[in-house]
């Protein structure tokens, strides 16, 4: 099957709309939830921030006590700057654009198979 045929098959068998209570609550307050693809941490900025935080905490964790790790985590999360978030978001956007630029190549390969 071609990619388009497979997508049509998925749409036929997948529930049309799945509503989550949190989405409704956020919508009432003017927010929209954007779902990220599963198993793609490179497209999710929070995953990069988690990595940065784990590295920082590990570098300063000398006691290995849960209370100290919690304190280090709180300190490091509070220290994340707007600039760091912006850099991570720019990086994720660049990765996304790279994936999109290769999409046509992947389609050609898949259709030849």
Question: Tokens 């490179």, residue?
Answer: 42
What does the pLDDT read at residue 113?
Answer: 58
Q: How many other β-carbons are positioned within 10 Å of the β-carbon of residue 111?
A: 10
State what percent of residues in the chain have pLDDT above 70.
91
Q: What is the mean pLDDT of residues 22-40?
A: 88
pTM summary value: 0.62
Residue 2 has pLDDT above 90, yes or no: no
pLDDT band at 78 (very low <50, low <70, confident <90, very high): very high
Percent of residues, the chain, with pLDDT higher than 90: 59
Number of structural domains found in the chain:
1
Q: Which of 43, 53, 35, 45 is nearest to 85 (CA)?
A: 45
Q: Residue 17 pLDDT > 80, yes or no?
A: no
CA 62 to chain centre: 30
Distance CA 86, CA 82 (A): 6
As a whole number of angstroms, the distance between CA 74 and CA 72 comes to: 6
Q: What is the dihedral of CA 57, 89, 94, 113, to 10 degrees?
A: 80
Mean per-residue pLDDT of the chain: 88
Q: Which domain holds residue 50?
A: 3-112
């Amino acid at each position: 099957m071609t990619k388009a045929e497979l997508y049509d098959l998925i749409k036929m068998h997948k529930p049309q709309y799945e509503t989550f209570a949190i989405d409704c609550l956020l919508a009432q307050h003017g927010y929209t939830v954007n779902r990220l693809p599963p198993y793609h941490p490179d497209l999710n900025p929070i995953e990069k921030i988690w990595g940065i935080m784990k590295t920082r905490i590990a570098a300063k964790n000398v006691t290995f006590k849960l209370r100290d790790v919690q304190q280090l985590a709180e300190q490091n999360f509070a220290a994340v700057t707007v600039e760091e978030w912006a850099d991570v978001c720019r990086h994720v956007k660049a990765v996304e654009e790279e994936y999109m630029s290769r999409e046509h190549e992947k389609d050609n390969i898949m259709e030849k198979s």
